[in-house]
Structure formats: structure tokens, C-alpha cells
Amino acid sequence: MKFAIVVNEGPYTHQASDTAFQFAKSVLAKGHEIVRVFFYHDGVNNGTKLAVPPQDDRHIPNNWSALAKENELDLVLCIAAAQRRGILDEKEAGRQGKDSNNVIDGFRISGLGQLIEAGIQADRTVTFGD
């Protein structure tokens, strides 16, 4: 089965991001496919490389980054939501005249069309968070 996953909450706001991460791991362990994970609204905060949780806490952005690398996942941050929250990759930072970027490895910025495409390609779309 092919899944599209939508994450609407930040990594430490509610349980949604952590639950989505555990769901993604389980889906992959069962041999299913993840078409794309789309981070929307505050969910784009999962894609920042500037998060510094306490040492005894889980590092959710790093967890997503590692999962993407290990499984060649497509992790997409909504461009409009990311820009509103100061999340920029190199290309967007340059386009906006900013001198730095903060998107962690494994994530990319793109538009809502990526969410629509994932929904078309997937057998199921599962959303985490409001």
C-alpha cells in the first residue's frame, strides 16, 4: 500500500509530529511505501536545523532527517507556511535576500501541488495534527 502523510503540527507543540514519525517507521517496517511526507502549517518547523532540544529529549527534526536518508523519503515543507515561519532553504534564502538558510538535510521546500500529487499517487493519505 502507498501512503501520503501530512504533518500539521510542530515537533514539540503536540504529539502529532512524533506520532507521524512513528507511523512512518511502522509503515516502512511492514513493507509499505511512503509516497511523500508533506509538512504544512506549523508542521514546517519539523524541517529546521536550528532546533536544540534538551539532551535527554528526542530530536524530532533529526529523526525525520535520518528516516528520510535511510529510506529515500520525500519530505516536503510547504513554501508559504515555511516562509511565514522563517524556514528557508538555500534557494529561497537567496531569492528573498536573506544571508542564511535553516532547512535540515532530507527536507525540501515546494508548493501545495506536491500535496495534491501525493494524494493522487497514494492509496491512503493520513493527516496528523489539526
- Is 129:10 a contact under the CB 8 Å cutoff? no
- Is 101:92 a contact under the CB 8 Å cutoff? yes
What is the spatial distance between Cα 130 and Cα 120, in angstroms, rounded to a whole number? 21
Query: Which position among 7, 37, 73, 78 bears the catalytic label?
Result: 78
Copy the grid coordinates of residue 86: 522563517
78 is catalytic: yes
Could you tell me how far CA 69 lies from the centroid of its own chain? 13
User: Which of 57, 21, 66 has the alpha carbon at shortest distance from 39?
Assistant: 21
Show which residues are catalytic: 78
